[in-house]
Amino acid sequence: MIKILPCLSAHSAVVSTLHGACFDEVWNEVAVNKILSMPGVIGFLGCHENDPCGFIIGRVAADEAEIITLGVIPPWRDKGAASLLLEAFLGEALAQGAGAVYLEVADDNTAARALYTTAEFQEAGRRRNYYRRDNGREDALILRKKI
């Protein structure tokens, strides 16, 4: 069973390690701490027993929220952790007054796109050649959901 817990700046090292297991561009502990310390930031950790398996970080500004990053380590993918983290974020963003949530996702990230489609996010734009890849560049889709 995966528990969702608040993610605070004290968890920066844990999030940095998780981020490194999820993405090619690793955020170091200092960068994670800076983000988690910003005003309006919402963060959650997904944990199985006492082992962190995923995270979500975003922020609320005025009546909008932005998901900055969401990651689940490979052994825990396709087990519902990302959905639970997303649900927790959306609930807290709504509680803090957000009426819509935005995010960017790589066009080639089919698993993440499926998650956001299931959660009823809709494409609101595209940033051409936004992500660097070993074999070139990839577009970022800008997704939006009313909450």
Q: What is the pLDDT of residue 60?
A: 98
What the chain holds in terms of domains, given with CATH numbers, is 2-146 (3.40.630.30)
The verdict on whether 104 is a catalytic residue reads: yes
Active-site choice (66, 92, 104, 131): 104
Active-site choice (116, 120, 131, 138): 116
* Closest C-alpha among 86, 87, 106, 11 to residue 52: 11
Concatenated DSSP letters for 49-96? Answer: TTEEEEEEEEEEETTEEEEEEEEE-GGGTTTTHHHHHHHHHHHHHHHT
The verdict on whether 116 is a catalytic residue reads: yes
Per-residue tens of pLDDT for the chain, all 147 residues: 999 999 999 999 999 999 999 998 899 999 999 999 999 999 999 999 999 999 999 999 999 999 999 999 999 999 999 999 999 999 999 999 999 999 999 999 999 999 999 999 999 999 999 998 888 899 999 999 999
Q: Around 23, how many Cα atoms within 13 Å sit in the side-chain half-sphere? A: 19
* Closest C-alpha among 70, 110, 73, 72 to residue 90: 70
Contact yes or no for 130/139 (Cβ under 8 A)? yes
